[in-house]
Structure 1
Amino acid sequence: MNGPGHVLVVCTGNVCRSPYLERRLRQDLAGTGIEVSSAGTRGLVGRDMDPTSRALLVRAGADAEGFAARELTSELVAGADLVITAAREHRAAAARLHPAALRRAMTLRDLADLLDGVTPRELADGYHGESTWVRHVVDVAASRRGLVPARQDGVDVTDPIGRGPEVFDRMAAEIDGALVPVVAALRAAPSA
Structure 2
Amino acid sequence: MKLKILFVCTGNTCRSSMAEYIFKDLAESDKYEVMSAGVSAVNGKDPAPQAKQIMSEKGIDISNHQTQKLTEDLVTEADLILTMTHQHKSSVLSMFNESEDKVFTLKEFVEDIEELTEITDEIDKIYKRISNRREKFLDEKGSKIERLRKRHQELIQEIGEVEDELNRLEGELSKEVADDKDRLDILQNKVQNLDISDPFGQPVSVYRQCAEELEEYIKLLLKKIE
Q: Summarize the alignment of residues 1-16 of structure 1 with structure 2, pairs less than 5 Å apart.
A: 3-16=1-14
Question: Is the aligned partner of 1:111 residue 2:109?
Answer: yes
C-alpha distance in 2, partners of 1:27/1:60?
Answer: 10
The one-letter code sitting in structure 2 at the alignment partner of 1:68 is: Q
Aligned residues: 119
Which residue of 1 is the match for residue 130 of structure 2?
none
Q: Does the Cα contact within 8 Å between 1:16 and 1:49 map onto a contact in 2?
A: yes
Highest Rg: 1 or 2?
Answer: 2
Which residue of 1 is the match for residue 62 of structure 2?
64
Q: Which has the higher helix share?
A: 2
Q: Deviations over 1:87-122 (max 9, x none)?
A: 1111122222322211111111111111xxxxxxxx
SS class of match (2:104)? strand
Which residue of 1 is the match for residue 115 of structure 2?
149
Q: Structure 2 length normalisation: TM-score?
A: 0.49
1:88 aligns with one of 79, 86, 89: 86
Question: Is the aligned partner of 1:49 residue 2:47?
Answer: yes
Q: Does the Cα contact within 8 Å between 1:15 and 1:48 map onto a contact in 2?
A: yes
Q: Summarize the alignment of residues 27-42 of structure 1 with structure 2, pairs less than 5 Å apart.
A: 27-42=25-40
Q: Does the Cα contact within 8 Å between 1:15 and 1:49 map onto a contact in 2?
A: yes
The one-letter code sitting in structure 1 at the alignment partner of 2:87 is: E
Q: Structure 1 length normalisation: TM-score?
A: 0.57
Q: Does the Cα contact within 8 Å between 2:46 and 2:63 map onto a contact in 1?
A: no
Which residue of 1 is the match for residue 96 of structure 2?
98
Q: Deviations over 1:55-81 (max 9, x none)?
A: 111111223131111111111111100
SS class of match (2:5)? strand
The one-letter code sitting in structure 1 at the alignment partner of 2:32 is: I
Question: Is the aligned partner of 1:76 residue 2:74?
Answer: yes
Q: Does the Cα contact within 8 Å between 2:43 and 2:68 map onto a contact in 1?
A: yes
Which residue of 1 is the match for residue 142 of structure 2?
none
| 4+ residue segments displaced more than 4 Å | none
The one-letter code sitting in structure 2 at the alignment partner of 1:98 is: F
The one-letter code sitting in structure 2 at the alignment partner of 1:104 is: K
Unaligned runs of 5+ in 1: 115-146, 154-192
C-alpha distance in 1, partners of 2:52/2:91?
Answer: 26
The one-letter code sitting in structure 2 at the alignment partner of 1:149 is: E
Q: Does the Cα contact within 8 Å between 1:7 and 1:82 map onto a contact in 2?
A: yes
C-alpha distance in 2, partners of 1:62/1:21?
Answer: 11
SS class of match (1:36)? strand
Q: Shift in Å at residue 27 of structure 1?
A: 0.9
Q: Deviations over 1:165-188 (max 9, x none)?
A: xxxxxxxxxxxxxxxxxxxxxxxx
Q: Does the Cα contact within 8 Å between 1:7 and 1:80 map onto a contact in 2?
A: yes
Which residue of 1 is the match for residue 19 of structure 2?
21
C-alpha distance in 2, partners of 1:10/1:20?
Answer: 11
